[in-house]
Amino acid sequence: MTTFPLSPAVQAFEAAYAVARRRSRLIWLVSTLVFAVLFMGAALQSDFFKITQVTLADGSRAERWIIPAGLPRLGEYLYKTIPSLSWDTLGSDIAAWFWAWRTWAVLLLETILIAFMATVFGVAGGFLLSFPAARNLSPNPWVLWITRRFLEIARTVPELVWALIFVFSFGIGPMAGVMAIALHAMGALGKLYSEANENIDMRPLDGIKASGGTWAQQIRFGAVPQVLPNIISYTLLRFEINVRSSSIIGYVGAGGLGQEFRTAVSLQEYTDLSALFVIIFVTVMLIDYGSEKLRHRFIGLGLR
């Protein structure tokens, strides 16, 4: 192979490239070290290296690292939740396992309805606020700042805390649950929708503005058609999340299956726990499956 003398421009490139390589290696090394230190510090702070006392089989006490010490107890707990089922009496065993199925079916329906209503309210609020909360669409910086902070507060406070507040103000029952989940969902969806809004192509909006369109018309004709597939996708995803939330929110008295969880835990009805878990697991699985199908259909459709 013939070698040509390198031109000064190529030589300059080689030098600059070597410098860039050294620099990126150094950055990688330093950031890995920093991450490792922070991670170990966090693990220490969260008791990952704690030593705890355990009772051995012969009754003596010994010291063990917390993770191997706790694992058998986890197994023990889960074992207690397994119902006694046998082939000969399977029907009656299952009936005994789901002994309170009438109550649970009603509460399951309530759980799904809470999730549904909360999703409707959350979507409506999040959708409306996502436009003033998008950097590229907001009519002015003040509106942007206020809507963003409002959405942040709505989603930063966990549903359970909102539920506690609403149960206190409006009494025990599903309405408090709907409001709690709706508020949190509005905050979360408003954020997701506004990020979708920030990724749109602004040229169609310019075209509408140049035709004499108002801000609302630019949003309706220019932005909404672009973000609609994303919005539908996020909405269905949020419905799935809301079903999970509404199944636990009864823990603080805000309706749905959660109250049964609480009863089962406090009365140590282990097989009730597993029965409730099976009910929620199957429900969430079915809703996930259905909404995924729906999502793909919507994405394929020419919606506006």
Partner 1 sequence: MSRGSSTLLVMEQHTLSLSGLGRQFGSTRAVDAVNLDIAPGQFVGVIGRSGAGKSTLLRLINRLVDPTEGTIKFGAQEVTALKGRALRQWRRDCAMIFQQFNLVDRLDVLTNVLVGRLADHGLLSSLAMRFTDAERAIAIRALDRLELAPQALQRAGTLSGGQQQRVAIARALVQNPRIMLADEPIASLDPGNATRVMDALRSINRDDGITVLVNLHTLDTARAYCDRIVAMRAGRVMFDGVARQLTDDVVRDIYGSDGLAEFNEAVTSTAARAYVPA
Could you list the residues that contact partner 1 (CB under 8 A)?
A: 203-204, 206-214, 216-217, 220-222, 225-226, 228, 302-304
224-248 vs 101-130: helix crossing angle, rounded to 10:
150
Contacts of residue 186, defined as CB under 8 A and 6 or more positions apart, other chains included, come to: 121, 122, 125, 126, 129, 151, 154, 155
- Looking at the Cβ atoms of 218 and 274, the one nearer to partner 1 is 218
Q: Which residue has the tokens 């706790």?
A: 70
125 vs 128: CA distance, rounded Å: 5
Q: Between residues 83 and 225, which has the closer beta carbon with respect to partner 1?
A: 225
- Give the residue with the Cβ less far from partner 1, 210 or 267: 210
Backbone angles phi, psi at 62, to 5 degrees: -145, 160
Q: With contact defined as beta carbons under 8 Å apart, do 254 and 176 qualify?
A: yes
Residue 79: count other Cβ atoms within 10 Å of its Cβ.
9
Q: How far apart are alpha carbons 138 and 132 in whole angstroms?
A: 4
Nearer to partner 1, 164 or 205 (CB): 205
Measure the CA–CA gap between 262 and 257, rounded to whole angstroms. 9
CB of 302 to partner 1, least distance (A): 6
Residue among 52 and 199 whose Cβ is closer to partner 1: 199
> C-beta of 125: minimal distance to partner 1 in Å?
17
Task: Give me the least distance between CB of 143 and partner 1, in Å please.
Answer: 17
| Closer CB to partner 1, 98 or 127, in the complex | 127
Closest approach, Cβ 235 to partner 1, in A, equals 18
**Local structure of 253: helix, strand or coil:** coil
Which of 107, 114, 105 has the alpha carbon at shortest distance from 162?
114
Q: Whole-number minimum distance, CB 201 to partner 1, in Å?
A: 8
Q: Smallest distance, Å, CB 141 to partner 1?
A: 17
